Amino acid sequence: METTQKKAPGPGDRDAVDIPCAADTLLRKLWGQWKTHVIYVLGDQRACRFGVLRRQITGISPKVLTTRLRELEADGLVWREQENTIPPKVTYGLTETGLAVHAVLKDIEKIKV
């Protein structure tokens, strides 16, 4: 008796179905230099101000840190709270989703490669 196997759809197939993958979606949000580092540090600090965060991440420029924080906030991983003082006092922390990602990063840290 002959068995037939269906070929998995490739990138050029017209009939390919785009199945959403939660891991892929998350990894796309984490893609970019410093993003995982920012999440890692914020998770350990729980909440901190920009200057403290910058000192904790050696080598990152203020411009890049600002950009990464804005991206992570837009993706729902980081929250931002601003007090209208002079100078403005801005505090950052992880959302529930960000805390879950932080926990995964801590688990990855245990893997020896």
pTM: 0.73
Confidence label for 44 from pLDDT (cuts 50, 70 and 90) = confident
Task: Sketch the domain layout of the chain as residue ranges.
Answer: 28-109
Output the pLDDT for position 78.
95
Confidence of residue 65 (pLDDT cuts 50, 70, 90): very high
* Residue 110 pLDDT level (bands cut at 50, 70, 90): confident
The DSSP string of 12-44 is T-TT------HHHHHHHHH-STTHHHHHHHHHH
Give the count of beta carbons closer than 10 Å to the beta carbon of residue 73: 15
Chain length of the chain = 113
- What is the model's pLDDT at position 113? 74
Question: Treating both helix axes as pointing N-terminal to C-terminal, what angle do 22-30 and 35-45 enclose, rounded to 10 degrees?
Answer: 90
On whether the 28-109 domain is CATH 1.10.10.10, my answer is: yes
CA distance linking residue 37 with residue 54, whole number of Å: 11
> Residue 25 has what pLDDT?
67
What is residue 113's three-state secondary structure? Answer: coil
User: Residue 33: what pLDDT?
Assistant: 83
Residue 51: pLDDT band (50, 70, 90) is very high
- CA angle, 24 as apex, 112 and 109 as ends, to 5°? 20
Q: What pLDDT is recorded for position 70?
A: 95
